[in-house]
Amino acid sequence: MVEGLLWFDSDPNRKLADKIDRAVQRYHYRLHSKPTICYVNIKDFDEQSPEINGILLKPKDNILPHHYLIGIE
């Protein structure tokens, strides 16, 4: 990833899809393009949903919990 946005959301009442959607909106607002990938902490990753609204989710052990690194791969 050349350029990305690190998003933090620790709200326990918000679903992962909503967190990713908010990060996508902010990414689009700041960088004027649609991201394709989001790196998430292994504990936040759900193998049942490896993709949310066209954004591929990839688990990484070096991403802190509740942090989402979103960008274009």
pLDDT digits (tens, 9 = 90+) for 32-51: 999 999 999 999 887 777 99
Predicted model pTM:
0.89
CB 53 within 8 A of CB 34: no
Has residue 56 got a pLDDT over 80? yes
Show contacts of 53-59: CB within 8 Å, 24+ apart.
53/17, 53/20, 53/21, 53/24, 55/20, 55/24, 57/20
Domain locations in the chain as residue ranges: 4-71
pLDDT for 13 equals 96
The sign one gets for the Cα dihedral 48, 57, 28, 20 is: positive
pLDDT for 61 equals 94
